[in-house]
Amino acid sequence: MEKYCVNKETKDNPKGNHEVHKKGCHKWPENGEDLGEFADCHGAVQKAKDLGYSKVDGCVHCCPDCHNE
Ligand SMILES: [Zn+2]
């Protein structure tokens, strides 16, 4: 299991998405919202959506399987 978080801000994402990151990513946000631990990025992205983040995308670096745009 890996720790994931979602960026509360969208200014770093050209599409205006909230990026989901895995612990250890060099783009891990200092003030991100903790999502908990998941076996893969798909669960983390779903958790972020459940928390109310409507536009969510996986980080291209640490969550390539969940990176859509
Ligand atoms: Zn990342």
Ligand 1 centre distance from Cα of residue 25 (Å): 5
Residue 32 token pair: 């991100």
Entry pTM: 0.95
- With a pLDDT cut of 90, the percent of the chain lying above it is 93
Residues with CB under 5 A from ligand 1 (ion): 21, 25, 27, 59, 61-62
Q: What's the average model confidence in pLDDT over 1-5? A: 97
Instruction: Give the whole-angstrom CA distance, residue 1 versus residue 68.
Output: 22
Predicted confidence at residue 69, as pLDDT, reads 83
- Do residues 61 and 26 lie in contact, with contact meaning Cβ atoms separated by under 8 Å? yes
3-class DSSP state of 34: strand
Predicted confidence at residue 6, as pLDDT, reads 98
Ligand 1 centre distance from Cα of residue 20 (Å): 7
